[in-house]
Amino acid sequence: MCIVVYLSTDHELVESDDAFLKVERIATDHDDLPTPPLRFKQVYYVGSHLGCGCGFLFYDASLEELTLTPELVEFALDSLEPDERKQSEKSNQELFKLIDLCLSKSDEAELWVTWSGGGSLKPQIDVQLDISNIEPRHFFLTEGHRYHLLKR
C-alpha cells in the first residue's frame, strides 16, 4: 500500500508528470477522498518522484515540534539513504512550490494525506497551516492529516 496525497483548491491547476512531482485531476467522488469531503471543487492527486506519496518527507511529529526541535528534522532526514534523501527533499520542495502557487491564486486550499484504499475515512487530525511561517525543509507530512492551508 502507498501513501496518497490529494490537494483541493478552488481553481484549476496544470496537470503534470515531472520527475519530482505528479499532478493529476481526479473526480470529487474518488474512493480515497475523506468523509466529510474536501471543501473545494478542484481535487488533484499529487505524487512524488516515486509516483505516489511515499516519496514525500513524512515524520510522526507535528510541524510545531519539527520547527521548535531542529534535531528532529535532521534525525528524520538522516534515517534516509543519501540518494533517497535528495530525491525526497526535491519532491517536497516541488510540493511546497505547488502549494505556494495555489495560495497565490486563492486564500486557502486543503491537503489530505492517507493510505491508498483508505477512502471515506475521517481525518485523524485537521491542521490549520499557515505556510508563510514554515521553512520548506521543515515541511513534513503525516498520514491521516487533513491540512487546511493558508498564507498570510
Cell 485531476 -> residue? 25
pLDDT tens across 39-91, in order? 898 999 999 999 999 888 776 666 666 666 667 767 777 777 888 888 988 99
Start-to-end CA distance of the chain, whole Å, equals 36
Q: Which helix (H) or strand (E) holds 98?
A: helix 82-105
- pTM of the predicted protein model: 0.86
Please provide the size of the chain in residues. 152
Q: Burial letters for 89-117: b for 16+ Cβ neighbours within 10 Å, e otherwise?
A: bbbbbbbbebbeebbeeeebbbbbbbeee
Q: How many CB atoms lie within 10 A of CB 54?
A: 18
> What's the Rg (C-alpha) of the chain?
14
Query: Which pLDDT tens digit goes with each residue over 122-131?
Result: 778 888 888 8
